[in-house]
């Protein structure tokens, strides 16, 4: 039984949107591992990963996401998302003060859920995408080009907001505390905001 559980945990580590380091921490807590394995098994079974998505890392654009194999999961999420307009208007007044760097995995269920919404939100406010860089990682949250090295990426998606001085202001990580637009509003208006994995 223990051998089967350990095998399942190791297998799921490859499909988790968490870092391998975080998965290893979880294996030291038997109770949380059992819960985590059940949850991750459900999530990983819902995500069909193509070989191209496992291997590709680097900069990606909205056009890449809306065409080819990626549009199969990107477009339904994009079309279904209808952000609160009042919140969108408030974001619109403040977001141009920031450039944005996104780390995501095309293989990751959390990225597949949040990234289509994120692009829909940016399109609604007509954000200047010259100030946006979206980077896809492999299953280990790394890129062949090393884009992630100075950003401490343990989970995807991670959306980093950078001020005009080039300093990170805050980051959205993996899933919202309230909703995607409410979380982003807090970040761009300098309200207190802590993602789920912040110390």
CATH assignment at residue 113:
3.40.30.10
Number of folded domains in the chain?
A: 2
Domain with 178, as residue range(s), is 51-188
Together in a domain, 42 and 102: no
| Average pLDDT value for residue range 123-145 | 95
Together in a domain, 82 and 138: yes
Per-residue pLDDT reduced to its tens digit, 59-96 = 999 999 998 899 999 999 999 999 999 999 999 999 99
38 pLDDT higher than 80: no
| Residue that wins the pLDDT comparison between 27 and 114 | 114
| Average pLDDT value for residue range 181-189 | 98
Together in a domain, 110 and 136: yes
Q: Is residue 107 part of a domain?
A: yes
Task: Assess contact for 118 and 134: CB atoms under 8 A.
Answer: no
Together in a domain, 7 and 97: no
d(CA 175, CA 180): 8
Together in a domain, 9 and 99: no
Q: What SS3 state is found at 58?
A: strand
Give 72: exposed, middle or buried? Use CB within 10 Å, 0-12, 13-18, 19+: exposed
Q: Is residue 196 part of a domain?
A: no
Q: Confidence band (pLDDT; 50, 70, 90) for 16? A: low
Together in a domain, 23 and 74: no
Residue 126: C-alpha distances to residues 93, 107, 113 (Å):
11, 27, 21
In a 13 Å sphere around the CA of 170, the CA atoms on its Cβ side amount to 17
Together in a domain, 55 and 144: yes
Q: Is residue 198 part of a domain?
A: no
Percent of the chain with pLDDT over 90: 68
Q: Is residue 62 part of a domain?
A: yes
Together in a domain, 64 and 87: yes
Together in a domain, 79 and 130: yes
The per-residue pLDDT for 39 is 36
Together in a domain, 33 and 87: no
| Residue that wins the pLDDT comparison between 31 and 145 | 145
Together in a domain, 121 and 158: yes
Together in a domain, 102 and 138: yes
């Amino acid at each position: 039984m223990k051998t089967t559980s350990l095998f399942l945990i190791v297998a799921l580590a490859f499909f988790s949107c968490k870092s391998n380091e975080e998965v290893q921490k979880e294996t030291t807590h038997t109770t949380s591992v059992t819960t985590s394995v059940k949850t991750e098994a459900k999530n990983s079974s819902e995500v069909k990963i193509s070989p191209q998505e496992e291997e590709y890392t680097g900069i990606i654009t909205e056009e890449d996401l809306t065409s080819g194999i990626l549009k199969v999961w990107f477009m339904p999420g994009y079309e279904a998302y209808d952000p609160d307009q009042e919140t969108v208007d408030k974001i619109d007044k403040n977001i141009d003060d920031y450039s944005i760097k996104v780390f995501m995995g095309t293989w990751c269920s959390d990225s597949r859920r949040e990234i289509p919404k994120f692009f829909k939100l940016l399109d609604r406010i007509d954000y200047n995408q010259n100030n946006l860089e979206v980077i896809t990682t492999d299953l280990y949250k790394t890129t062949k080009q090393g884009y992630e090295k100075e950003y401490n990426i343990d989970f995807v998606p991670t959306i980093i907001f950078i001020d005009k001085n080039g300093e990170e202001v805050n980051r959205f990580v993996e899933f919202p505390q309230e909703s995607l637009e409410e979380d982003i509003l807090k970040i761009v208006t300098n309200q207190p905001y802590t993602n789920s994995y912040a110390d």
